[in-house]
Amino acid sequence: MKATMKDVAKLAGVGVGTVSRVINGVRVKDSTLKKVNQSIQELGYEPDIYARGMKTNRSNTIALIVPTIWHPFFSEFGFHVEKELKALGYKIFLCNSTGDPAVEDEYIQMIKQNKVDGIIGITYTDIDKSVSSDIPFVSIDRHFTSKVTIVAADSKQGGEIAFNELNKRGCQHFAFVGTHQDKESETKNRRIYFEKSARRAGKKISILDFEEPIIDFENQVQKFFIDNPTIDGLFGINDFLAMDVMKELEKLGKRIPEDIQVIGFDGVKLSEEREYLMTTIRQPLETMAKVAVEQIMNAINGDPIDYKTIIPVTFIEGSTTKN
């Protein structure tokens, strides 16, 4: 049978309150501290966090909601979030929403029933409607109408950098390839400010912005580049899409970076020790995770929070641009 606080108290010859104090680091007399600790050792006592939760109404658990942990962008983010939270003594429920609102609702219900202290989520549905306003929620990238805290990489800056770096490398005809949904998200600024920068510089620019879900990707991409044969600088809304486009470019006999230079977005790596896949704008996922955790902690503790944190991105030079 597992030892309880009562057992420890009896063995140490003290009251349960004193054991509780020891467990929670409240000052007690040195001699009693010694006695209690010894009894804890002797019995192999482990506190029951559920019982504690009953009293405190806290679980020290955060739910991490991502579309799919399989994708390296989310798995890297998840890795960092878990690391930060663990250091603070928090556990993390992994939730793969698959972008399905019904699934998200199930998770929300689970969260309500399990005393989950807060949510860190990357989601593009109107999840804010189901999550009651009293549970702290930090959203990545996506804006919500209500007062949900948002943390995001600086997509505006990213779009501008992408243009500048391509421009610096001699590109004359710029292109953007992306995808979007109707939701308000920081992501959109990648296209907007890339385009703005090009126009401001008086450069030619062509846009291929898919509405999700994408249909007939191959043909549309090929047609786009056949219709615009002078394109020599491409900015993709994320690394994977940029890679998919490059594959089509290859089929068209275009060489990279000789004929077309390509910059992606995200700075995805396939694991901590691997390299970036291409020239890209890196999202500072580790910092974003840190800030997200910081904000959720502030919210949990009733401290003031920043409703919006935008974090600078960095340019990563790879093999898909010249120089």
Partner DNA sequence: CTGAAAGCGCTAACAT
Partner DNA sequence: ATGTTAGCGCTTTCAG
The residues of the shown chain that bind DNA, judged by CB under 7 A, are 2, 4-6, 9, 13-21, 23-24, 27-29, 31-32, 45, 47-48, 51-52, 54-56
- Least distance (Å) between residue 243 CB and its own copies: 9
CA dihedral angle for residue 70, residue 73, residue 74, residue 78, rounded to 10 degrees:
110
When CB distances are held under 5 to 8 angstroms depending on the partner's kind, the choice from its own copies, DNA, none that residue 71 binds is its own copies
List 174's β-bridge partners, or say none. Answer: 205, 233
Shortest approach of DNA to residue 29 CB, angstroms? 3
Closest CB to its own copies among 94 and 201?
94
Q: 97-136: which residues touch its own copies (CB under 8 A)?
A: 106, 109-110, 112-115
Contact between 76 and its own copies per CB under 8 A: yes
Q: Which does 55 bind (CB under 5 to 8 A by kind): its own copies, DNA, none?
A: DNA
Q: Over the chain, what HEC string results?
A: CCCCHHHHHHHHCCCHHHHHHHHCCCCCCHHHHHHHHHHHHHHCCCCCHHHHHHHHCCCCEEEEEECCCCCHHHHHHHHHHHHHHHHCCCEEEEEECCCCHHHHHHHHHHHHHCCCCEEEECCCCCHHHCCCCCCCEEEECECCCCCCEEEEECHHHHHHHHHHHHHHCCCCEEEEEEEECCCCECCHHHHHHHHHHHHHCCCEEEEEEEECCCCCHHHHHHHHHHHCCCCCEEEECCHHHHHHHHHHHHHCCCCCCCCCEEEEEECCCCCCCCCCCCCEEECCHHHHHHHHHHHHHHHHCCCCCCCEEEECCEEECCCCCCC
Residues 33-52 that bind its own copies (CB under 8 A): 46-51
Stretch that binds its own copies, among 123-131, 162-170, 228-236, 269-277 (CB under 8 A): 269-277
Residue count of the chain, please give it. Answer: 323
Least distance (Å) between residue 111 CB and its own copies: 10
CB of 298 to DNA, least distance (A): 20
**How crowded is residue 318: how many other Cβ atoms within 10 Å of its Cβ?**
17
Partner in contact with 29, chosen from its own copies, DNA, none, beta carbon below 5 to 8 Å by kind: DNA
Task: Say whether residue 24 binds its own copies (CB under 8 A).
Answer: no
- Complex with DNA: residue 115 or 173, whichever CB lies closer: 115
Per-residue x/- track, 200-239, its own copies (CB under 8 A): ----------------------------------------
Q: Which does 315 bind (CB under 5 to 8 A by kind): its own copies, DNA, none?
A: none
274 binds its own copies (CB under 8 A): yes
Residue 72 engages its own copies in binding (rule: CB under 8 A): yes
Report, in Å, the least distance between residue 112 CB and its own copies: 5
Q: List the single partner that 64 binds among DNA, its own copies, none, CB under 5 to 8 Å by kind.
A: its own copies
Structure-token match 């942990």, residue found: 69
Q: Note the residues at the interface with its own copies (CB under 8 A).
A: 46-51, 53-54, 59, 64, 68-72, 75-76, 78-79, 82-83, 86, 91-96, 106, 109-110, 112-115, 240, 268, 270-272, 274
